[in-house]
Amino acid sequence: MLKKLFITDFRNINSAEIDLKPGLTLISGDNGQGKTNFLEALFMVSQGWSFRSRSHDDVINWDAKECMLRVQGEIAVISESEFEQGFLLRRRRGAEVRVDSQKSTNMGELHGRYGCVYMGPEDIALVRGAPELRRRWVDVLMSKSHPDGLDLLRKFRRILRQRNSWLKTSDQNFYGDEQWFALTDIFVQLWSQISQRRAQVLEDCIPLLNEFYAEISGGAEDINLSYINGTGLELAELVSIDLQELQQILLEKMEKLKAREQIMGLTMAGAHREDFALNFSHGKDFRYNGSQGQCRSAGLALGLTAFEYTQRYFQQNTALLVDDIFAELDAKRRQSLANLITKNVKQVFAALPRTEDLPFSSDHLLQVQKGEITTL
């Protein structure tokens, strides 16, 4: 359980020291007052990255030179043990990270001790939203179940940039085929590993997804997932295929694209272009054949699946952050979501403008006004 959060100059929150309680904590306040900032602080101090921005400098208060976050809590596995972690960020400088008494400069050290899952309005739109959102959804889970996941993604992004740069500008005449192969083979090696890990995560998620979807929608239809990476392989095949064989398939694909890529000056396939789709049991894609309501229910189910997946990984030591999604749901879905949350989650922080939007009673109340946080 997370027990105490200290905030200094994080976005519009200048200074706060908040006791965190078990059960449901409601964070109320008008839009733009800092509710999401509070959730972001909680997420960032426990995970080491922000769900809203890539640059660390963004989270430092405009009028301040540095910001600091610190969280204290208790990890319960066999017995309970106290933990504390936090970081100090200075503008245009690296981070100072502290995990218990260990110092570091790597924000990644914060990740992997305590689970925290954020569900926001974009999750409701996950099914129909941009592929990038779905990739992020699966990658976040992959980074938990596969310790090398983040490293693979980082290396992949790096080699992708190198490859694009080569296709765009570099001298392709001098040992051009050899250069193409050297860049493409490493690219394919990383891509195949990422694909297979993502497929594994998705396969593991199917039962959870169906369980949550059935409870939210009350519907009887089954959800299947299909993986889209241009190989035509089914999800289950992708999970079980020999890695070398997969690399061969992907390499052949890249060979076919070779001429076009050189004209376009761009890498045209890869882990950065993959996607997955939710399908009804008769095979039709939710995106095009599902109603608005079905898509929203499936989006919520994906969000809860992410939470359950994370919670299993962290042996229940996981907090759920819910940002302003109740207002977007109809009464029935709101109630099912509320029931699921109260049933499955030990510590929830839910932000919403009006308390009457909440279909169940909260255990604790925080109010955010112009970055001031008060416990009511």
Partner 1 sequence: MYSPPSLERLINEFARLPSIGRKSARRLAYHILNQKAESAQNLAHALVDAKDKIRPCSRCRHYSESELCIICSNPRREQNKICVVEKSADIEAFEANGIYRGLYHVLGGTLSPLDGIGPQELHLPLLLERIRGGVNEIIFALGSSPEADSTVLLIDRMLGDTPLKKTRLARGIPMGSDLEFIDELTMLRAFEAREQI
- SS3 percent helix, strand, coil of the chain, rounded to 5, is 50, 25, 30
Q: How far is the CB of 168 from partner 1 (least distance, A)?
A: 8
The answer to whether the beta carbons of residues 275 and 98 sit under 8 Å apart is no
d(CA 137, CA 160): 21
Q: How far is the CB of 189 from partner 1 (least distance, A)?
A: 8
Instruction: Tell me if 104 contacts partner 1 by CB under 8 A.
Output: no
Instruction: Tell me if 182 contacts partner 1 by CB under 8 A.
Output: yes
Interface residue with partner 1 among 186, 214, 225, 268 (CB under 8 A) is 186
Which DSSP string corresponds to 234-302?
-HHHHHHS-HHHHHHHHHHHHHHHHHHHHHHTS--SSGGG-EEEEEETTS-BHHHHS-HHHHHHHHHHH
Scan residues 188-227 and list those touching partner 1 (CB under 8 A).
Answer: 189-190
Helix (H) or strand (E) holding 171: none
Give the count of beta carbons closer than 10 Å to the beta carbon of residue 141: 24
Instruction: Tell me if 244 contacts partner 1 by CB under 8 A.
Output: no
Output the six-digit token pair for 212: 């949550």
Closest listed residue to residue 228, CA positions, set 185, 189, 188, 285: 285
Interface residue with partner 1 among 61, 145, 179, 316 (CB under 8 A) is 179
Instruction: Tell me if 342 contacts partner 1 by CB under 8 A.
Output: no
Instruction: Tell me if 262 contacts partner 1 by CB under 8 A.
Output: no
State in Å, rounded, how far the first CA of the chain is from the last one: 21
Instruction: Tell me if 174 contacts partner 1 by CB under 8 A.
Output: yes
How many chain residues are in contact with partner 1, going by CB under 8 A? 25
d(CA 211, CA 76): 26
| Total residues found in the chain within this entry | 376
**4: β partners:** 19, 72
Q: How far is the CB of 16 from partner 1 (least distance, A)?
A: 31
Nearer to partner 1 (CB atom), residue 236 or residue 243: 243
Interface residue with partner 1 among 42, 153, 183, 322 (CB under 8 A) is 183
Nearer to partner 1 (CB atom), residue 184 or residue 294: 184
Going residue by residue from 145 to 164, which x/- string records binding to partner 1, judged by CB under 8 A?
------x---xx-xx-xxx-
Region of 13-21, 132-140, 168-176, 340-348 interacting with partner 1 (CB under 8 A): 168-176
Instruction: Tell me if 185 contacts partner 1 by CB under 8 A.
Output: yes
Interface residue with partner 1 among 63, 171, 242, 356 (CB under 8 A) is 171
Q: What letter represents residue 322's amino acid?
A: V
Binding site for partner 1 (CB under 8 A): 151, 155-156, 158-159, 161-163, 165-166, 169-171, 174-175, 177-179, 181-183, 185-186, 189-190
